[in-house]
């Protein structure tokens, strides 16, 4: 049994430095796979895409009406309509053939007269509008030209992209595989349901697994592992086949906080303790090239650290762009307190007051209060150099639940 000598954190690494240290040990997995267009929403392209065919790939009517030779309508007006014969198939001189929006322009025609500009008189048609060549016609490639560059590798596909890809003839695309993530909840107090006094329903692992999926990873949500060194060691070794391992709970310096020592025995703990609040007892390590993120057990701390560390890890390993969180501007309703040297994530709710957004603290402290995250609209980040933010100040509220 490994001998543990726990002590309070001697120092806490700045968030930016911790992220840099972690990224130095991350490598994109480089794997790709073909997927059907219908299953590609949210996936990241592994190669650039060019249009295999034009859209439309034939000249088509842009209006309901009659296809004509434009020169046959010259001089037509309300007072002096041009009379054309009703035809079928190829448009011969002096003829017009009925077409509908989207239908192929018949051979011989080069324009379409809108249906409301024509009166049908027996087998003849009175045309009240002169049209120019190409009028009311969508030419070949009006939407997309054959060979046109559509997307770069690394583009995250959206539903509109899938429609465009199908229209140019793609039935599948080559995408980057989702990074695999082993999610390991730890703690002898955790249960799946019906907690007795002193027991807690496991939520951190489930929540993190959902974030993994939302951020583009492929989670494997493991059963609860108790606070036992050998059990924890086996859990880490089992998931070394994954691209990333993330544990929840047991990351601090108490008697039952065993996971950092286990990881350090198997590999290396790179960072233990980060200057953020809530959530400073996070640890980052690597075992046999696999990054291991050890998130705190308090739910708020767990979520904050998942956003700060796990999200960029998934993006980097999966070869995906790590975009910024969307923010909204608001006026702070009450003071936010912060300890100098610590980056604080203050949960706030948003409300429109006199036409302007106002941000109110959901809870100033309480890393174990999950509702302070679930019922918040975002968080305000207080930088390390600040001692807080005064009421009435403008703030940026980050939406950490954003899925991209």
Q: Please check whether residues 210 and 123 belong to one and the same domain.
A: no
Number of structural domains (the chain) is 4
Q: Please check whether residues 205 and 226 belong to one and the same domain.
A: yes
Angle 164-167-172 from CA coordinates, rounded to 5°: 80
Task: Report if residue 343 sits inside a domain.
Answer: yes
Task: Report if residue 100 sits inside a domain.
Answer: yes
Q: Please check whether residues 81 and 109 belong to one and the same domain.
A: yes
Q: Residue 325: its pLDDT value, please? A: 86
Bridge partners of 174, per DSSP, are 34
Q: How many CB atoms lie within 10 A of CB 12?
A: 19
Q: Please check whether residues 295 and 368 belong to one and the same domain.
A: no
The residue among 287, 317, 347 that closes a domain is: 317
Nearest to 279 by CA among 184, 343, 206: 343
Nearest to 240 by CA among 289, 178, 205: 289
CATH code: domain of residue 218: 3.40.980.10
State the SS3 of the chain.
CCCCCCCCCCCCECHHHHHHHHHCCCCCCCCEEEEEHHHCCCCEECCCEECCCCECCCCEECCCEEEECHHHHCCCCCCCCEEEEECCCCCCCCEEEEECCCCECCCCCCEEEEHHHEEEECCEEEECCCCCCCCCEECCCCCECCCCEEECCCCECCHHHHHHHHHCCCCEEEEECCCEEEEEEECCCEECCCCCCCCEECCHHHHHHHHHHHCCCEEEECCCECCCHHHHHHHHHHHHHCCEEEEECCCCCCCCCCHHHHHHHHCEEEEECECEECCCCCEEEEECCEEEEEECCCHHHHHHHHHHHHHHHHHHHCCCCCCCCCEEEEEECCCEECCCCCEEEEEEEEEEECCEEEEEECCCCCCCCCHHHHCCCEEEEECCCCCEECCCCEEEEECCCCCC
Task: Report if residue 298 sits inside a domain.
Answer: yes
Nearest to 271 by CA among 308, 234, 240, 238: 308
**Residue 184 backbone dihedrals phi, psi, to 5 degrees:** -120, 100
Q: Please check whether residues 265 and 299 belong to one and the same domain.
A: yes
Task: Report if residue 7 sits inside a domain.
Answer: no
Q: Residue 256: its pLDDT value, please? A: 83
Bridge partners of 13, per DSSP, are 274
Task: Report if residue 9 sits inside a domain.
Answer: no
End-to-end Cα separation, the chain, in angstroms? 43
Task: Report if residue 3 sits inside a domain.
Answer: no
Task: Report if residue 5 sits inside a domain.
Answer: no
The residue among 108, 138, 168 that closes a domain is: 138
Q: Please check whether residues 256 and 366 belong to one and the same domain.
A: no
Task: Report if residue 403 sits inside a domain.
Answer: no
Handedness of CA 300, 350, 394, 401 (dihedral sign): positive
The alpha carbon of 133 is separated from its chain's Cα centroid by a whole number of angstroms, namely: 45
Q: Please check whether residues 164 and 187 belong to one and the same domain.
A: no
Q: Please check whether residues 49 and 100 belong to one and the same domain.
A: no
Q: Residue 9: its pLDDT value, please? A: 65
The residue among 317, 341, 360 that closes a domain is: 317
Largest CA distance in the chain: 103
| Residue-number span of the structural domain to which 97 is assigned | 60-138
CATH code: domain of residue 149: 3.90.105.10
Q: Residue 255: its pLDDT value, please? A: 81
Q: How many CB atoms lie within 10 A of CB 179?
A: 25
CATH code: domain of residue 109: 2.170.190.11
Q: Please check whether residues 304 and 394 belong to one and the same domain.
A: no
Q: Name the pTM for this structure.
A: 0.84
Q: Please check whether residues 259 and 198 belong to one and the same domain.
A: yes
Angle 290-293-295 from CA coordinates, rounded to 5°: 165
Q: Please check whether residues 146 and 100 belong to one and the same domain.
A: no
CATH code: domain of residue 359: 2.40.340.10
Q: Please check whether residues 159 and 170 belong to one and the same domain.
A: yes
Q: Residue 364: its pLDDT value, please? A: 47
pLDDT by 10s per residue, the chain, length 404? 344 444 466 679 999 999 999 999 999 999 999 999 999 999 999 999 999 999 999 999 999 999 999 999 999 999 999 999 999 999 999 999 999 999 999 999 999 999 999 999 988 999 999 999 999 999 999 999 999 999 999 999 999 999 999 999 999 999 999 999 999 999 999 999 999 999 999 999 999 999 999 999 999 999 999 999 999 999 999 999 999 999 999 998 888 889 999 999 999 999 999 999 999 999 999 999 999 999 999 999 999 999 999 999 999 999 999 888 899 999 999 999 999 999 999 999 999 999 999 999 986 455 556 666 777 899 999 999 998 999 999 999 999 887 66
The C-alpha atoms of residue 65 and residue 111 are separated, in whole angstroms, by 10
């Amino acid at each position: 049994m490994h001998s543990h000598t726990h002590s309070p954190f001697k120092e806490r690494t700045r968030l930016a430095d911790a992220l840099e240290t972690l990224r130095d040990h991350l490598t994109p997995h480089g794997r790709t796979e073909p997927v059907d267009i219908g299953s590609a929403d949210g996936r990241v392209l592994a190669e650039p895409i060019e249009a295999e065919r034009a859209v439309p790939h034939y000249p088509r009517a842009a209006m309901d009406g009659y296809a004509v030779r434009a020169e046959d309508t010259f001089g037509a007006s309300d007072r002096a309509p041009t009379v054309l014969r009703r035809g079928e198939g190829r448009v011969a001189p002096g003829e017009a053939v009925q077409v509908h929006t989207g239908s192929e322009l018949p051979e011989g025609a080069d324009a379409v007269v809108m249906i409301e500009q024509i009166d049908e008189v027996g087998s003849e048609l009175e045309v009240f509008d002169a049209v120019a060549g190409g009028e009311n016609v969508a030419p070949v490639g009006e939407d997309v030209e054959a060979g046109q560059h559509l997307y770069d590798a690394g583009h995250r596909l959206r539903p509109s992209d899938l429609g465009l890809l199908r229209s140019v003839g793609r039935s599948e695309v080559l995408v980057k595989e989702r990074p695999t993530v082993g999610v390991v909840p730890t703690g002898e107090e955790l249960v799946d349901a019906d907690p007795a006094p002193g027991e807690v329903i496991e939520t951190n692992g489930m929540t993190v697994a959902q974030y993994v999926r939302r951020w583009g990873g492929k989670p494997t949500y493991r059963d609860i592992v108790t606070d036992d060194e050998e059990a924890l060691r086996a859990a880490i070794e089992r998931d070394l086949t994954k691209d990333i391992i993330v544990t929840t709970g047991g990351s601090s310096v108490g008697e039952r906080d065993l996971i950092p020592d286990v990881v350090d025995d198997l590999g290396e703990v790179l960072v233990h303790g980060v200057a953020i609040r809530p959530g400073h007892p996070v640890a980052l390590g690597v075992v046999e090239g696999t990054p291991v993120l050890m998130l705190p057990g308090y739910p708020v701390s767990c979520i904050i650290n998942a956003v700060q560390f796990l999200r960029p890890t998934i993006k980097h390993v999966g070869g995906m762009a790590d975009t910024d969180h969307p923010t909204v501007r608001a006026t702070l309703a009450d003071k936010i307190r912060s300890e100098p040297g610590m980056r604080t994530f203050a949960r706030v709710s948003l409300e429109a007051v006199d036409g302007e957004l106002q941000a109110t603290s959901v809870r100033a402290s309480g890393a174990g209060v999950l509702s302070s995250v679930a019922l918040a609209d975002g968080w305000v980040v207080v930088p390390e150099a600040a001692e807080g933010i005064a009421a009435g100040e403008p703030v940026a509220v980050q939406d950490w639940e954003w899925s991209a």
